[in-house]
Amino acid sequence: MAAIAYADLKKDVKRRMDSALDVVKKEFAGLRTGRASTALLEPITAEVYGATMPLNQLGNINVPEPRMLTVQVWDKSAVKAVEKAIRDAGLGLNPQSDGQLIRVPIPSLSQERRQELQKIAGKYAEQARVSVRNVRRDGMDALKKLEKDGHVSQDEIRHHEKELQGLTDETIKRVDEALASKEKEIMQV
């Protein structure tokens, strides 16, 4: 009984920690590095039809050139909203519409902007670390509940706590590695 409960708990903790790592990697993909990438526009949402919708549900996002993104908006009435959403996203982009096609030139990054992007990447990484530590805390609380209910001995609890800490340390290390890689990419001229 206790082994099954702990195995399920460990699997859930690992899944949630991996999920936090996936989220930070997606956020990193959205940070601009001077090269055009569709991931840059994916987190942006536009206010259309009385609801907030992601850009990829309003049109096709493409990379026709290394320093240019295009958004082919499906509905002509949504063009202005998409253009405004891109401009207001805080990415330093200035979209220009041409009918239902919105061109988004990617300007080269200044040193100041690169440092700003590094800080943003650091914030994303810290949010991921906090999330991982919260998952660990939830796991530790669940272990204490198992002990309180008499399903596991104190020795087993100590062993499982060390395992959870090991999972936490490994996931945080992977977040730090992803951050270092992104910072290197941002500072590359």
Q: Which residues contact 108 (CB under 8 A, 6 or more apart)?
A: 34, 67
- Amino acid identity, position 35: R
Residue 17 vs residues 3, 22, 108, 172: alpha-carbon distances, Å: 21, 9, 35, 9
Q: Is residue 27 a contact partner of residue 124, using CB atoms and an 8 Å limit?
A: yes
Q: Is residue 55 a contact partner of residue 42, using CB atoms and an 8 Å limit?
A: yes
* 2-29+110-187 CATH choice from 1.10.10.10, 3.40.50.2000, 1.10.15.40, 1.10.132.20: 1.10.132.20
Which of 99, 103, 92 shows the shortest CA–CA distance to 34?
A: 92
**Domain 38-105 is found in CATH 3.30.1360.40:** yes
* Cα distance from N-terminal residue to C-terminal residue, the chain: 57
Q: How many CB atoms lie within 10 A of CB 168?
A: 20
| Element (DSSP H or E) covering residue 102 | strand 101-105
Assessment of whether the complete model's pTM goes beyond 0.85: no
DSSP codes, 52-75: EEEGGGTEEEEEEETTEEEEEESS
pLDDT in tens, the chain (189 residues): 566 677 888 899 999 999 999 988 888 877 766 667 777 787 788 888 888 888 888 888 888 887 888 999 898 888 899 899 988 887 778 888 888 899 988 877 778 878 888 888 898 999 999 999 999 999 999 888 888 887 778 888 888 899 999 999 999 999 999 999 988 888 876
Domain ranges in the chain are 2-29+110-187, 38-105
